[in-house]
Amino acid sequence: MTSGSVTLNGLDDKQLVVVLEAKIRNEGKLFFNPQHIQQLPANPARPGGTMLNNNVIVSWQNEEGFKAGIEMQAQLAGHKIVATEVA
């Protein structure tokens, strides 16, 4: 059984949407609890600016979830890959 998790920090709102979409597409394979998110200002010296999301924890409990997690991370990094096999 392939299980694991990844903690993502410094995500902007667009990147957080990528995580949410991946979770929705992979319901039952990829797990994400938004209650763990901590929001911080990207630039504390500029009130009202962009907020970043820390402690975004994504987990999986099987190979399908692992593949979905790899694809999500690649999308966040700006790459288009599709995980097809887990060795």
Assigned domain for 87 exists: no
Global pTM value = 0.82
Assigned domain for 10 exists: yes
CA quadruple 72, 76, 78, 84: dihedral, nearest 10: -10
pLDDT number for residue 87: 47
Assigned domain for 25 exists: yes
Assigned domain for 42 exists: yes
Mean residue pLDDT of the chain comes to 87
Q: Which domain holds residue 19?
A: 4-76
Assigned domain for 29 exists: yes
Assigned domain for 85 exists: no
Assigned domain for 32 exists: yes
Name the percent of the chain lying above pLDDT 70. 87
Q: Per-residue pLDDT tens for 16-54?
A: 999 999 999 999 999 999 999 999 988 777 777 788 999
Number of domains in the chain: 1
* Statement: residue 59 has pLDDT above 90: yes
Q: Which two tokens stand for residue 71?
A: 């694809």
Assigned domain for 31 exists: yes
Q: Pairing state of beta strands 56-60 and 4-8?
A: antiparallel
